[in-house]
Structure 1
Amino acid sequence: MGNKLAKFKEAAFGFGFLMPSLLGFGIFLFYPFFKSVYLSLHSTNPRGQIVDFVWFDNFKDILGSEHFYQSIKISFLFALMTIPTCLIISLCLALLTHKKNKINIYFQLIFASSIAIPIGNASVIWKILFHPTAGMFNYFLSFLGIDPIGWLTDPAYALISVSIMTVWISIGFTYLVLLSGIKGIPEDLYESAKMDGAGSSAMVRKITLPLLSPAIFFMSVISVIGALQSFSQINILTEGGPANSTNVVVYDLYQEAFVNYRFGTGSAQAIILFLIILLFTIVQFRIAERKVHYS
């Protein structure tokens, strides 16, 4: 009896430390998720109030809508533009600046600095840079004799412009993760490779990249999740326009739920997006993780 009481007290003591985190998850994660599931099965009136239980009609309407598939396509294009570009640039910067010296310390600080800038502030800065008349980008283009570009007003450039800003804001965190991974590789492996006559490119291919694969895999997974959930920069820079050229799924469901007050279809879109992200995460773990070297 005494042993059971001691174990119970120990478990209760542990749960006491976990309770603040569990409470936070419950309020800000689990409750909104189950509320979204509940709303996705109901229809709402123009004031956002629940009217009727409609089963899966909201999902049928969304999956039968060409507009939804267009937003899915834009989301995937956005992910393809940002994720590989950010990973490649961050990897190259990490490879160039991982050695310990005074100059590299300054470069590391510069390359990682974007992690300290909130995405809302960064979006406002880049919106000014992209301005068609007062922006610095078109100002520099005028020196080259190139006509001004509608970075955020031309459907041909809007998604590219948002992607450029997203890559810039994402490089800081990605760079730090990859730099930490490179610094964790034992130096004696490189020394042994040098003694065997291996060049710099061979050491990168045979030593650095295989041992850095866990960090690259980690960044690939969270980058896919982050890209498919992007909202703030699109809301500030383009508001889904022009001509819906940057209307990704998250912004589309935001418009559906909080502008049109159709919480049922907006929640259904959120559930479908959750399933898409979950599917991609599972696929990445099943396929890409096979090429990851943990030792």
Structure 2
Amino acid sequence: MEIEKKTNTSVQQVKKPVHKRKSAKRREWENLGAGLLYLLPALLIVGVFLFYPMMKTLYYSFHVTNASGAVINFIGFEYYRTLFESSAFRTSMKATFLFALYTVPTTIIISLFLAVITNEKVKGVPFFRVVFSSTLGISVAAGATIWLLLFHPSLGVLNNMLNAFGLSGVQWLTSPNVALISVAITTIWMNIGFNFIVLLGGLQNISEELYESAKIDGAGYWRQLFNITIPLLSPTLFFVSVVTIINSFQTFGQVDILTGGGPANSTNLIVYSIFREAFYNGYFGYASAQAIILFVLVLIFTYIQFKVGEKKVHYQ
């Protein structure tokens, strides 16, 4: 009898933890179901407006379509092969990379300079903060139209200033050698507002005690800038660089208004090329293949930034 009692007790002890494990797993599944239920509206929106268009674009890139977008037949990787053999596509990619090279470092450097000087406690600084961030409230269409007037060959302010100094005017938007730079100048001006606000917010989060301690140790302004400000601002700089590079690959509005991809395709950035092939020429499959290549490029650049750049980020 004693042996049977001991056996029954040991069986109950074994069964009890198993039951507890089952109930814990059940609670985990219930919590997961409740979480997904709360996320369902957001998942539906993301699925309809993000994942479905991405899958549809990938599907179109392997098919020939008619002018209305209806699929005619499957051609596999033919569009991709044609793109890499196309001189027009190579010109578009070259223009896109040059545009990113012109805009990204310049925008970040100018925005950082403006944020640093307006972070000083000087009378009248709030006014300049409003001025430097004002481009954030200007739409792409309005900003591009403003610069379209400034770049005008005969009535534009820029050429009139050059003429006042005895210099000949520049064909800002009609010269293949200058047009891309002109679009880059417009883009830099329009992106400064956002980057300025983000960097200024990062600067204001740095503790003043660090600067006071550095002053006591005899550190000058430049030493404080490079040993305190820049390292502690590195998370914000990392964020700004990622966003700015992605935006540079997605530039469209200012190209459409200022140059229309010309002259001689010198400003035909890849996004504008996608738009023109799809909605002007009706080649939806060809445009979809370019969109997939652009997506892969942005993904690669973002991955490299996170893999390499994040190692140099210093978090407080």
> TM-score normalized by structure 1?
0.94
Determine which of 261, 283, 288 is the counterpart of 1:240: 261
Whichever residue aligns with residue 236 of structure 2, its letter is: A
In 2, Cα distance between equivalents of 1:102 and 1:61: 60
Partner in structure 1 of residue 276 of structure 2:
255
Instruction: Determine whether 1:272 maps to 2:293.
Output: yes
Which stretch shifts more, 3-12 or 66-75?
3-12
Among 154, 158, 167, the alignment partner of 1:146 is 167
* Residue equivalent to 2:185: 164
Unmatched 5+ stretches in structure 2: 1-21
How is 1:101-250 mapped onto 2 (pairs within 5 angstroms)? 101-250=122-271
Q: Which residue is equivalent to 2:305?
A: 284
Q: CA deviation at 1:15?
A: 4.1
Q: Deviations over 1:41-98 (max 9, x none)?
A: 1012345432111111111111221221111111010001001001111111111111
- Separation of aligned partners in 2, 1:277 and 1:172: 23
How far did residue 101 of structure 1 move?
A: 4.4
Once residues 69 and 281 of structure 2 are traced to their aligned partners in structure 1, the CA distance between those partners, rounded to angstroms, is 8
Shift of residue 220, structure 1, vs aligned partner? 0.8
The one-letter code matched in structure 1 to 2:262 is: G
- Tell me which residue corresponds to 2:75: 54
1:141 Cα deviation (Å)? 1.9
Tell me by how many angstroms 1:228 deviates: 0.8
Percent identity reads 47
Of 94-103 and 237-246, deviating more is: 94-103
Q: Is residue 2:58 matched to residue 1:37?
A: yes
TM normalised by structure 2 equals 0.88
Letter in 2 for 1:136: V
Shift of 1:99: 2.6
What's the CA shift string for 1:213-239, capped at 9, x where partnerless? 111111111111110111111011111
- 1:23 Cα deviation after fit: 2.6
Distance 2:90 2:297 in 1: 13
Secondary structure in structure 1 of the residue aligned to 2:170: coil
**CA deviation map 1:159-194 (0-9, x unaligned):** 011000100000001011111111111110000100
Contact 2:249/2:298 (<8 A) preserved: yes
1:28 and 2:40 are equivalent in the alignment? no
Unpaired runs of 5+ residues, structure 1, are none
* Structure 2 letter corresponding to 1:123: A
**Alignment equivalent of 1:68, drawn from 89, 93, 98:** 89
Instruction: Flag the 1:138–1:205 CA change in 2: closer, same or farther, 3 A.
Output: same
**What residue in structure 1 maps to residue 6 of structure 2?**
none
Aligned pair count?
Answer: 295
The structure with the larger Rg is: 2
- Give, in whole Å, the separation in 2 of the partners of 1:214 and 1:262: 42
In structure 2, give the amino acid aligned to 1:189.
L
Contact 2:91-2:266 at 8 Å conserved across structures: no
Which amino acid is the alignment partner of residue 26 of structure 1?
Answer: G
- CA–CA distance in structure 1, aligned partners of residues 200 and 41 of structure 2: 33
Whether 1:87 aligns to 2:79 is: no
Q: Which moved more, 1:135-144 or 1:10-19?
A: 10-19
User: Residue 121 and residue 17 in structure 1: after superposition, are their counterparts in 2 closer, same or farther (change >3 A)?
Assistant: farther
Q: What does the per-residue CA deviation read over 1:94-148, in whole Å, with 9 as the maximum and x for residues that have no partner?
A: 1111134441111111101101111111111111111112222122222112222
Between stretches 23-32 and 254-263, larger displacement belongs to: 23-32
